[in-house]
């Protein structure tokens, strides 16, 4: 199966594309796009990989589902297109960055600027039906993104993984803590941000770690 994904990722994930679960997944996703409104647009499903080369990954942020509202999802977790109202979880992420690093709150929620610096913005599930959160869960995407995490954990060193909320933390159990930094806190959702996401200082801690490894910090 020819999956249109950045070459550095294709080389590592090619074996996934030939497995039965992936064939079943793609059949399901194609059918959904043909019969339902699905986000993100088809050409942006693998945007996280196209925007951040495997060899450039310094930080991984794990999300769950793409946004399910019109025009929001752009293939990068927590990110929205320019001109789209910034969703509540991302507002809280920006608030924590402001409190942690003193950065002003951005006018746009498009996080492509992070991806270009080596932040892999990875949702566990890469597609979703409009207005139906979780509608594409347990169809195979999670198996695929588990493989992505394993490749990073096994083949790279000194990557920072930001795991917000119990879902991301469970998915991150495969990460080799002896060679990577794993930072965990509650999710930035308005339902949980006050329980420990605010004040986690993950953004300054990430940059301190990267600098210690001789790497360029992220301009959050």
Question: Catalytic residues, which ones?
Answer: 65
**What is the rounded CA–CA span in Å between residue 90 and residue 111?**
10
Structure tokens at 138: 């347990």
Residue 152's CB is within 10 A of a number of other CB atoms, namely 22
Residue 155's CB is within 10 A of a number of other CB atoms, namely 12
The closest of 114, 132, 144, 142 to 51, measured between CA atoms, is 114
Burial 93-109 (b: 16+ CB within 10 A, else e): bbebbeebeeeeeeeeb
The closest of 153, 157, 165, 162 to 201, measured between CA atoms, is 162
Structure tokens at 181: 């930094």
3-state secondary structure of 38: strand
């Amino acid at each position: 199966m020819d999956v249109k994904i950045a070459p550095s990722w294709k080389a590592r994930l090619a074996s996934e594309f030939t497995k039965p679960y992936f064939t079943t997944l793609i059949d399901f996703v194609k059918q959904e796009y043909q019969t339902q409104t699905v986000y993100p647009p088809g050409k942006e499903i693998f945007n996280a990989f196209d925007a951040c080369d495997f060899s450039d990954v310094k930080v991984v942020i794990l999300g769950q589902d793409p946004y399910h509202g019109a025009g929001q999802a752009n293939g990068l977790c927590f990110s929205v297109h320019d001109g789209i109202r910034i969703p509540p979880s991302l507002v809280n992420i920006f608030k924590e960055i402001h409190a942690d690093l003193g950065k002003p709150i951005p006018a746009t929620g498009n996080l492509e600027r992070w991806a270009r610096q080596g932040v892999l913005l990875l949702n566990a599930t890469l597609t979703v039906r409009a207005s139906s959160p979780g509608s594409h869960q347990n169809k195979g995407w999670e198996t695929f993104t588990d493989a992505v995490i394993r490749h990073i954990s096994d083949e790279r060193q000194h990557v920072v993984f930001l795991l917000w909320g119990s879902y991301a933390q469970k998915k991150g159990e495969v990460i080799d803590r002896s060679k990577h930094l794993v930072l965990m806190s509650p999710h930035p959702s308005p339902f949980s941000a006050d329980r420990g996401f605010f004040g986690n200082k993950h953004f300054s801690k990430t940059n301190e770690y990267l600098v210690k490894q001789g790497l360029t910090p992220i301009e959050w």
